[in-house]
């Protein structure tokens, strides 16, 4: 199967590419604009395993401006992971980029898929579309995003449904819940916390630290994402991809203190705008359709991310 993965140099995209290439029947066309939302050398590191793989091709494509038709020739499945991430940076003047890379780029990719024999178009969305909910959230709840970022990702979902209904593009939508692990983006909380602790710097916590998340380890996330490839019952559906272990920010820092053998220096700041107090995924749909079964304990996943960051920053624990 010939698979197109947008955002292939990113955190999830690079892991997904590696996972799918384990099957000798798959070849991957990875596209990535290599935007400057974080250091290019980190994205290049993500591609270390992939770049010389005989069944992987990486193209520097801008989904918002380039001609996408030639790239889609011979493609069986599209995984659309590319986009502008981050809740806090989506306010103000930066919103223009979110519109360009999360809405316009998605529409152009869907438009280019019209009339082509695409077997599945898998759009990766986010738990940010839900907004503030209580308890476990299921896919049938009405989305109510709190941030411009969440609004642009939800717009991408609506575009997918429009092209499914009007042009029969076989879409499936995955809503990720706080993915972490090796190669996590440097703007994400665990990466920031670990880096600050390794350098004996204070950790800034937005709010009281009692906000909780449904943390999803990268390998679990990728296994669920890859399983959609063979799930025809997923077409037209939205699925939560979350973890089984919910924790507060303070509980995460406590685990990191244990792993690093040192106390964190905490400083508390204002609550971040646009972020819900709690997230918690109902993953029963993914369990039923995909056999999705996240199994990595939070402490083990954090240790693996720590080990990866020690290599990235060329550091050793005392």
Positions marked catalytic: 149
Cα-based torsion angle of the residue sequence 187, 192, 194, 200 in order, rounded to the nearest 10 degrees: 150
User: Which of 289-317 are b and which e, b meaning 16 or more Cβ less than 10 Å from the residue's Cβ?
Assistant: bbebebebebeebbebbbebbeebeeeee
* Residue closest to 305 by CA, chosen among 212, 201, 197: 197
Give me the numbers of helices (H) and strands (E) for the chain, helices first please: 11, 12
- The residues, ordered by sequence, that sit 6+ positions from 158 with a Cβ below 8 Å of its Cβ are none
> How far is it, in rounded angstroms, from Cα 109 to Cα 67?
10
Beta bridge partners of 78: 4, 121
Beta bridge partners of 179: 216
Q: Are 272 and 205 within 8 A, CB to CB?
A: no
> How far is it, in rounded angstroms, from Cα 78 to Cα 28?
10
Burial class (CB in 10 A: 0-12, 13-18, 19+), 78: buried
The encoded tokens of residue 303 equal 């240790």
The encoded tokens of residue 154 equal 């939800």
DSSP string, 150-210: HHHHHHHHHHHHHHHHHH---EEEEEE--EESTT--TTSHHHHHHHHHHTTPPEEEETTS-
């Amino acid at each position: 199967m010939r698979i197109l993965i947008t955002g292939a140099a990113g955190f999830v995209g690079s892991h997904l590419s590696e996972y799918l290439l384990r099957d000798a029947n798959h070849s991957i066309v990875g596209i990535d604009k290599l935007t400057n939302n974080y250091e290019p050398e980190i994205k290049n590191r993500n591609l270390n395993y992939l770049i010389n793989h005989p069944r992987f091709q990486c193209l520097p494509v801008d989904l918002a401006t380039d001609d996408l038709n030639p790239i889609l020739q011979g493609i069986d499945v599209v995984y659309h992971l590319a986009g502008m991430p981050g809740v806090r940076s989506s306010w103000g003047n930066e919103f223009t980029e979110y519109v360009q890379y999360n809405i316009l780029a998605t529409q152009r990719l869907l438009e280019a898929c019209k009339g082509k024999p695409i077997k599945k178009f898998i759009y990766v969305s986010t738990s940010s579309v839900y907004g503030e909910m209580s308890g476990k959230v299921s896919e049938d709840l009405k989305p109510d995003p709190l941030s411009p970022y969440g609004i642009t990702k939800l717009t991408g979902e609506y575009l997918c449904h429009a092209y499914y209904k009007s042009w029969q593009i076989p879409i499936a939508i995955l809503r990720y819940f706080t993915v972490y692990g090796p190669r996590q983006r440097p703007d994400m909380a665990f990466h920031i916390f670990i880096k600050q602790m390794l350098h004996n710097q204070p950790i800034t916590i937005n709010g009281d630290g009692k906000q909780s998340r449904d943390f999803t380890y990268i390998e679990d996330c990728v296994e669920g994402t890859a399983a959609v490839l063979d799930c025809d019952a997923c077409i037209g559906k939205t699925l939560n991809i979350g973890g089984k272990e919910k924790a507060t920010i303070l509980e995460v820092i406590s685990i990191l203190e244990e792993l690093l053998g040192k106390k964190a220096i905490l400083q508390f700041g204002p609550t971040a705008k646009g972020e819900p107090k709690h997230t918690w995924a109902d993953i029963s749909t993914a369990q039923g359709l995909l056999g999705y079964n996240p199994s990595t304990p939070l402490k083990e996943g954090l240790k693996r991310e720590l080990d990866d960051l020690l290599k990235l920053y060329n550091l050793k624990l005392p």
